[in-house]
Amino acid sequence: MNKSPSVISLEIQIVILTILILVCSWKIVEVSKEIRILRETPPVAIIGDEISHGDTKNNTIILTFDGGSGADSAYKILKVLAQHKIKTTFFLTGKFMDTYPNLVRTMLKEGHEIFSHTYNHPYLTQVSDNEIRHELRVTDQTLMKIAGTSTKPYFRPPYGDRDERVIRIAREEGYQSVYWTIDALDWSVGETQESVKYRIISTLRPGNIYLIHLGDMISGDILEEVILDIQKRGFTISSLSQGL
C-alpha cells in the first residue's frame, strides 16, 4: 500500500526533528564539558613578571612536564617526544634528579631543557626566606653536579604556591617564575585518559603553557594521541624558551 504524500512528509519531519534533537543534545554535552573546564581552570593571578603563557602570535603551544618524585611516565614520554622530534621543557626537583640521574642526562642529551622545581617540593609561602634560597641553590647545585648545567633562569613553584615574597626572593637568586595556562590534572584522583585528553585539546590556544606530570601513568599513555591531535589542529609544540 502506497503512503500518501502527507504521511511521507510527516515521517520526514519526524526524522529531521530527531536529528535536530540529537545534535542539540550533543551540543549541550559539549557546552557542559567546556563549563567544567572553565570551572577547573580559573583565571591565573599573575605576580610581577611571572610567565603564564608564551607568544600568542603563532599557533604554538608549550608542553611542560613536572617531575616531583615519581617517574612513572617519564621514559614513555621521552620515547614519544623523540619519535616526533619534539623538544620540550622539564621542571624537576633536586630529589628527582638525585633519584634518576641517568634519566636527567638523557633528557638533556635529547635536546630538552631542565629548570628548577625546588629540591624538596615544599609550599614556598610557608617556609622562610633562607629556606627558599636553599631550595633553589641546592637544586641548581644538584643539576650542575649531574649534568654540568644550571637550572637558571626559570623555576616553577611547587603546587603553584607563591606570593610576592617568593617571587622577589627567586628573582634575587636569578630565577623567573613560570606558572601555567592549563593544568592537565593528570595527577588528580578520578581523572581518566579521556578527561585529561579533552582538557588539553579543548583548550588549545596560541601561546598556552600546559602543565603535565611525570609521576602518573595517564600522561605517558595519552601523549602520542595528544601530540597527533594538536598537530592535526594546526598547532606546533615547542619548549618554553622557544615559545616565549
pLDDT at 6: 62
162-185 average pLDDT score = 97
Residue 46 has pLDDT above 90, yes or no: no
The answer to whether the beta carbons of residues 193 and 218 sit under 8 Å apart is yes
**pTM for the structure as a whole:** 0.83
Determine contact, residues 62/90, Cβ cutoff 8 Å: no
Told to judge if 216 belongs to the known catalytic residues of this protein, a careful annotator would answer no
Count of alpha carbons within 13 Å of 76, Cβ hemisphere only? 16
Q: Please state, in angstroms and rounded to a whole number, the distance separating the CA atoms of residues 77 and 191.
A: 19
Give 188's contacts (C-beta < 8 A, 6+ positions apart). Answer: none
Q: Provide the angle, in degrees to the nearest 10, between the axes of the packed helices 217-232 and 74-83.
A: 20
Q: What is the pLDDT of residues 109-152, one digit of tens each?
A: 999 999 999 999 999 999 999 999 999 999 999 999 999 999 99
Q: What is the pLDDT of residue 47?
A: 86
Annotation says 213 is catalytic: yes
Percent of residues, the chain, with pLDDT higher than 70: 82
Say yes or no to pLDDT of 178 above 60. Answer: yes
pLDDT at 3 over 80: no
Distance CA 141, CA 152 (A): 11
Q: Which of 66, 186, 216, 221 is catalytic?
A: 66
Q: 180: how many CB neighbours lie within 10 A of its CB?
A: 22
Which residue bears the cell 616553577? 156
Which position among 53, 112, 117, 213 bears the catalytic label? 213
Selected from 1.20.1090.10, 3.20.20.370, 3.20.20.70, 3.40.50.2300, the CATH number assigned to the domain covering 60-243 reads 3.20.20.370
When pLDDT is cut at 50, 70 and 90, the band that residue 34 belongs to is: very low
Residue 216 is which amino acid? D
Q: What is the mean pLDDT of the chain?
A: 89
Domain boundaries, the chain: 1-40, 60-243
What is the Cα–Cα distance from 169 to 155, expressed in whole angstroms? 12
Say how far apart CA 40 and CA 132 lie, in whole Å.
Answer: 29
Per the DSSP assignment, residues forming a β-bridge with 57 are none
Alpha-carbon span 181 to 204, nearest angstrom: 10
The reported pLDDT for the residue numbered 223 is: 98
Mean pLDDT, residues 18-22 taken together: 58
For position 21, what pLDDT does the model report?
57
Give the pLDDT band (50/70/90) at residue 48.
confident
Residue 109 to residue 131: CA distance in whole angstroms: 31
160 residue type, one letter: G
